[in-house]
Amino acid sequence: QSALTQPASVSGSPGQSITISCTGTSSDVGGYNYVSWYQQHPGKAPKLMIYDVTNRPSGVSNRFSGSKSGNTASLTISGLQAEDEADYYCSSYTSSSIVVFGGGTKLTVL
Amino acid sequence: EVHLVESGGGLVQPGGSLRLSCAASGFTFSSYAMSWVRQAPGKGLEWVSAIGATGTGTYYADSVKAWVTISRDNSKNTLFLQMNSLRAEDTAVYYCAKDRSVVAAMGGMDVWGKGTTVTVSS
């Protein structure tokens, strides 16, 4: 099972919006609404930011939103803040009943 | 408060074995699937294995399924990962995570432990 494809890095200025893409196949992202997004700060455990493509867990800012079109899911962060600087990973359930992660995207807030 | 605490990591020689444990508290452990995710130094997250809430369904990444076994003891609120025939490429921080669903691998992982470090080296 191949990893999902994410851009290695994205950047934006405070207050701006950025979008991180996550491309898979019809056997994972395109076939199921079980895409999740995680935020990870250096030396910390990952934190769930989005589940089931579009849903935010309690306590996650509404500046974070998720969407999907075909085999590509996206995470959008609006009103960028300094504390958003982190690594972001997407994951998806697959037709093999396992989970696959993306390679991760480093977000830099300029 | 919901808590996951991993233990059992350490330095092991190539070909050796380790049993990781994850103690859960603050939620009804037997109602949720559980997963293990690892992260090699400087690398991204890699899903390793998951187990359903009752323990009847187990799932493994292709990269580990020949020498890894996931299990759980719902009476002790504890998750396990038995790793055999360890190789240098298994060196990583191993995270225990609570699934949002009773069914393994679906719906995301909403609670994570701080991880336990496994180093495979001679």
Q: Model confidence over B66-110: pLDDT tens digits?
A: 999 999 999 999 999 999 999 999 999 999 999 999 888 888 999
User: What SS3 class is residue A59?
Assistant: coil
Tokens of B69: 């076994």
For A46-70, the pLDDT digits (tens) are 999 999 999 999 999 999 999 999 9
- What's the Cα-to-Cα distance from A69 to each of A10, A29, A100, A106, rounded to whole Å? 20, 9, 18, 22
* Better-scored residue on pLDDT, B86 or A2: B86
Q: What is the pLDDT of residue A43?
A: 95
Residues in A closer than 8 angstroms to B59, CB to CB, are 97-98
Asked if B61 and A98 come within 8 Å (Cβ–Cβ), the reply is yes
User: What SS3 class is residue B28?
Assistant: coil
Distance CA B41, CA B92 (A): 6
Question: If you average pLDDT over residues A29-33, what whole number do you get?
Answer: 96
Q: What is the pLDDT of residue B85?
A: 95
Strand residues in B40-115 grouped as ranges (E)? 45-51, 58-60, 68-73, 78-83, 92-99, 109-112
CA A17 to chain centre: 14
Percentage of residues in chain A having pLDDT higher than 70: 99
Tokens of B50: 């998951």
For A5-21, the pLDDT digits (tens) are 999 999 999 999 999 99
Q: What is the pLDDT of residue B105?
A: 83
> How close A51 comes to chain B (CA, Å)?
6
User: What SS3 class is residue B108?
Assistant: coil
Percentage of residues in chain B having pLDDT higher than 90: 92
The residue of chain B nearest to residue A60, with distances taken between CA atoms, is: B110
- Tokens 């990444």, residue? B61
**Residue B60 one-letter amino acid:** Y
Residues in A closer than 8 angstroms to B61, CB to CB, are 1, 98
Q: Is B44 exposed, middle or buried (0-12, 13-18, 19+ CB in 10 A)?
A: middle
Distance CA A90, CA B68 (A): 24
> How close B101 comes to chain A (CA, Å)?
11
The partner residue sitting opposite A99, judged by closest CB among B44, B100, B105, is B105
User: What SS3 class is residue A23?
Assistant: strand
